[in-house]
Structure 1
């Protein structure tokens, strides 16, 4: 009995101890929550934007924001106005909405805002050292200039043919993957077009050698590297997580692959352009910084990785959305095909004549389909900057302190009825130069007002600052995406090539479109997103 009593007493003591620990923990959490709420209610600083109310410190509004950023932004706008601060994983993040907010952040001066400190922890392990956000801004502007010179009209002209060839090969009946061997079937759109845009971008921008490697292990390396773009790596890029180990191995191997291509080309001799196929690698191999230093091969390799990663994400997402939208709009599919027939002409066998670079501009509806898709489905919903010194917001009592990050979201202005009537309605005809009575009510208001955009040269050529426009799918200011022209060309060429081969429709016959997945840094369709396809007899 004595032993049983001892055991019973020990068990009671252990239970009492754990109960005490549990109560202490819950008490601490409750105290932290109460203190957090009291601070928000009693200690508001009138010189700073209002803080979005939240219960749990550090977590703040992270979960609500992460589930659906646009719903969060519009709800906060209704309650707090165009400028407000929310807690994002312990960091005070100030959002500035509207065209003025976009201008304030995206066209901020270097002494006031900084992109490198925000993005470098995420991008450097993926792209590599000494490029993009892992170098001084002045060097980045030079690198952007190098890339821009690789996107000349002559280069873009050749890309149309290459992208068209890759697309036809991918969807051919006798393609290796056999997914489109029959006359009809179903297809999961996002992974299919992710694969296609990877092939088209690598073949056009990256060169024949890189494209050929995607048939082997290069695609697996790309996937492992892509996993480095997880939101947690904003905070823990160094964490010994499985995906980070794979990321680091993939980065080294991809860099070695590009370097070997460069070295092989140098051994063959720096051939004159007339005797070689032009691509971005050749362009960068022959670039020199202002101080006279040739771009090192290692930096060329890292820039090529950055180009491949950056371009593939936006084009993959946008092309997927284009065909998901078209599956719900057979009328637009029919109009696109008719536009090609009228502009390009039809051969004696009933097929449409080949597409060229010059003729892309003569296909306005194709351009408008891409433009309208980018408006509603802007690839990047949030653009962040680190505040370097106190920034007063003109016309308000607010001064943003250096302890904050700034967040611009051009996607909000693109979804605002003030600028785009019925903003969530996907209607390419809203961009018609002379819209019919049916579509005139949907026309963007800023086009009617004739807003003139300011331009500035940040070191890589004069570009629009984008301050007055509510349509900024490629950002604005010094960090505006220089691949905008290529993206339009790639998307329009894929669209024109695919629509003459296939008809798409929703599996259930409805006009519904899948929701958006915001779990990564890039907005993309929820998966799976399956639609029906039917091969056209003559197109």
Structure 2
């Protein structure tokens, strides 16, 4: 009986709460509605909270009545929150695209096909426009002129933490998006130093050794899913350079499995609810704890070995271990692990996906593939019909591979792994469109640049859907205009690891194409389409190629 009375009175508790907040509602309606609408709404609201009136007309002992009243109260609460959180338009704000659903805005259109929505909106509204996703406004800046505001903005103007904070569950506390600006700047500075040319020279040999050993497992001829193969190879080379020889040789299998659990723990659901109690999140959290344990053992062993051995190491694990903050405190094992995870996340998907796209397009186009091989011969030795006659790779040889470099850049132009780069406005942002209009993006809005859309604008890259590496070579050099080509971002927040990525990719692919001829063997004989359902966009499986050893 007591439970039944509680359930009967529960809707009235909701309604009393709304009644107590009537002053807030009236203030909201005075701002947003006309006098006639306010009078109608106030009358309806007064009717809703009249217990006697409802009791006279509704059978309160029926479950459906209680459910209806509860749902009505919840819906009213949602409406109030929606109007309170939705920013009001100003005259100089970017145009909001049409075809919005009530309350949901453009959420379903965006979810169905973000690229198509961005493309069609650009064609209709120009280079600066806004979509509404529930209560959140997202303003797109398409084209170099509009995107300049994004790439030139400081951390005081645009923030990353607000939009990428869900990654804290993977990276951990005190690093990347969870660290204060001074601490993060030091972490990023040390990362940048570790990825400069001095250390990159040592990485070419390590990447070559891993790649040579990997391709020994291939036969004289056969078929392989090139995306899966290159994904496996990229993580091997990354582990060797980032984690060091000891981790690669002793702990790679364990680290690789834990990394996979971390990777699978980031899904579209994680973006909205990073700590939702679901199996993929449980595995992710357990994997991170185990990863810290593994690396803590390595760190303690290295520190016990002394300064001489530390000085001789060139891997990035050692660079992170040596970080000391300006207040004199040392970096913790947990923070070192978090930075390693962040760097592996940043590089693994982008490098494996970019190498896959490049290999697929070259497998489809024998003429381009022959040019890549001819470049290898010209740089590394004589064409005797045998790959064994080519000299071993070194950093200087990798730097001369212009044709292969242009193929990589073209793959990144057509298929940037991240279809959007995002920031949140920490203050109003002034934007100049390519049409010559000035807009103010309000504080609290999310601003986004889409490399996928921008890098296929015909005004920047003629015949944008054609794989044409020569567009990067003189005299065309279509990528030259500032912020036209942004697969690694640009300005103050350009990717710190892009030079390492290019060295890694050129080393791997130069060895692949100097050893093997590839031909496409997909079901329809075409390069697979992008998989936009993935968090990082790569080719849709299967990615089958036939190979023949040279």
Q: TM-score, normalised by structure 1?
A: 0.81
Contact persistence 2:109–2:117 (CA under 8 A): yes
Separation in 1 of the partners of 2:206 and 2:464? 35
Q: Deviations over 1:491-515 (max 9, x none)?
A: 1011101111222222269762111
SS in 1 for 2:132: strand
Please name the residue that 1:344 is paired with.
380
Please name the residue that 2:158 is paired with.
113
Q: Deviations over 1:36-73 (max 9, x none)?
A: 9xxx9xx9753322222234345433343344433221
Q: Deviations over 1:100-145 (max 9, x none)?
A: 222212221322211112112x211101110111112232221111
Separation in 2 of the partners of 1:119 and 1:509? 37
Between the two proteins, the alignment pairs up a number of residues equal to 476
Separation in 2 of the partners of 1:316 and 1:62? 30
Contact persistence 2:302–2:310 (CA under 8 A): no
Separation in 1 of the partners of 2:465 and 2:112? 18
Match of 1:491 among 476, 483, 505: 505
Separation in 2 of the partners of 1:299 and 1:314? 23
Deviation at residue 314 of structure 1 after TM alignment: 0.7
Alignment of 1:367 with 2:405, yes or no, is: yes
Pick the structure with more helix per residue: 2
Deviation at residue 213 of structure 1 after TM alignment: 4.8
Match of 2:189 among 141, 145, 159: 145
Separation in 2 of the partners of 1:260 and 1:283? 17
Please name the residue that 1:305 is paired with.
341
Match of 2:419 among 376, 381, 397: 381
Please name the residue that 1:7 is paired with.
none
Match of 2:92 among 31, 42, 47: 47
Contact persistence 1:101–1:408 (CA under 8 A): no
Alignment of 1:261 with 2:261, yes or no, is: no
Separation in 2 of the partners of 1:413 and 1:99? 8
Alignment of 1:317 with 2:317, yes or no, is: no
SS in 1 for 2:129: strand
Separation in 2 of the partners of 1:509 and 1:257? 42
Would the alpha carbon gap of residues 62 and 503 (structure 1) be closer, same or farther in structure 2, given more than 3 Å must change?
Answer: farther
Separation in 2 of the partners of 1:93 and 1:129? 27
Separation in 2 of the partners of 1:507 and 1:230? 30
Contact persistence 1:327–1:505 (CA under 8 A): yes
Give the alignment of 1:120-159 within 5 angstroms.
Answer: 120=165, 122-159=166-203
Deviation at residue 215 of structure 1 after TM alignment: 4.7
Contact persistence 1:116–1:134 (CA under 8 A): yes
Segments of structure 2 that go 5 or more residues without pairing to the other structure are 1-58
Match of 2:493 among 479, 482, 486: 479
Please name the residue that 2:34 is paired with.
none
> What is the RMSD of the two structures over their aligned residues, measured on CA atoms?
2.9
Match of 1:505 among 519, 523, 528: 519
Deviation at residue 335 of structure 1 after TM alignment: 1.2
SS in 1 for 2:184: helix
Deviation at residue 347 of structure 1 after TM alignment: 8.2
Match of 1:517 among 512, 517, 531: 531
Contact persistence 1:44–1:50 (CA under 8 A): no
Please name the residue that 1:281 is paired with.
317
Match of 1:529 among 527, 536, 542: 542
SS in 2 for 1:525: coil
Alignment of 1:104 with 2:117, yes or no, is: no
Alignment of 1:198 with 2:235, yes or no, is: yes
Match of 2:473 among 432, 437, 455: 432
Deviation at residue 246 of structure 1 after TM alignment: 0.7
Contact persistence 1:506–1:531 (CA under 8 A): yes
Please name the residue that 1:406 is paired with.
447
Would the alpha carbon gap of residues 345 and 66 (structure 1) be closer, same or farther in structure 2, given more than 3 Å must change?
Answer: farther
Separation in 2 of the partners of 1:52 and 1:268? 61
Separation in 1 of the partners of 2:63 and 2:124? 46
Contact persistence 2:479–2:485 (CA under 8 A): no
SS in 1 for 2:528: coil
